[in-house]
A and B are shown apart, each in its own frame.
Chain A
Amino acid sequence: MSLPLGTSEEPLPIRFADEPAHHLAGVPLEFADEEQSLKITGFWMVLVTDLLIFASLFASYAVYRPMVAAGPSGAQLFGLGSAIAETLFLLTSSFTVGIAVWYMRRGNQRAMIGWIVLTLLLGAGFLGLELHEFAVDIARGASWQTSAFLSSFFLLVSTHGAHVLFGILWAVGIVVQVLRRGLNAVTARKVYTFSLYWHFLDIIWVFIFTVVYLGAKIA
């Protein structure tokens, strides 16, 4: 996708109704329609702001890391085992959502839905592991009320978790829409933006794993 920066190409804002929607050869379904293409551009901007949210949370976490007060430090609290398991779940789900889009581009609706469902199951598994980890921490007396360090840890990681939860609910809605209406420019765009969102969450998680869990072990 290219933005018409400084060119004189013709970005017709709203299609003339009596013209047929122009399906450009070789352009994926979701980009062929002007309106869907605009929405994809807009969604990239959503990801930019979301990235900035996480950047702020990471910066806060870095500052708060020594502020353990009377609570445990990261090195004392975090186990790498569950973090690695969570990472595997989420990385795999990023792969499966990629395959789903691959099938979508080939018009294979059933396979696409199958791979999305698998993606969501992996995502749910990730959430389950994360909630279990939280429950264990809290049972050991390490909640987000314990210290500023733990406040920032729980805020950072649970913001990511909330994003995963939102993604799962959103994708369920998309699957229902695809089942009802089939693959068209609108539903294809929704699947595509969901996949962008999911990859984005995966990248954020890689940073969480590195900065929070590995960082605690190294420091």
Chain B
Amino acid sequence: MTNLKIEKTATTPEVDLRPDGILKFSGKSYPEDILGFYDPIFAWLNEYFDGNEQKDTIVDLNISYFNSGSSKMIFDILDIFNNNTDKSNITVNWHYHKEDDSSKEDGEDFQDSFDNLKMNLVPIQ
């Protein structure tokens, strides 16, 4: 199991997924080819939960802008975490700018969708 590291572009976030359980997403997400971007991430996550018995998994999500397609992808990523709570102690941190109510609402919407998942809304100063 290796790292999955994707540099950020104008339309895609920086992705840093490490087998030791530190998973980070930060930036904007409105790629032209959504599945082309997210498929490797899904593949990595599935492999991570298939073989890895990592005790703790910490997910940091800091996505400033995302389109509806990306919103769906984030939902599907969170869904994977939601389905693997038995394999690892998963914590998801949704980072938002403290003045950005809209982003906070997005986080709340995700929170509402996954009852099992430990998800924190973390305001950035």
Bound together: no
Q: Which residues of B contact A (CB under 8 A)?
A: none
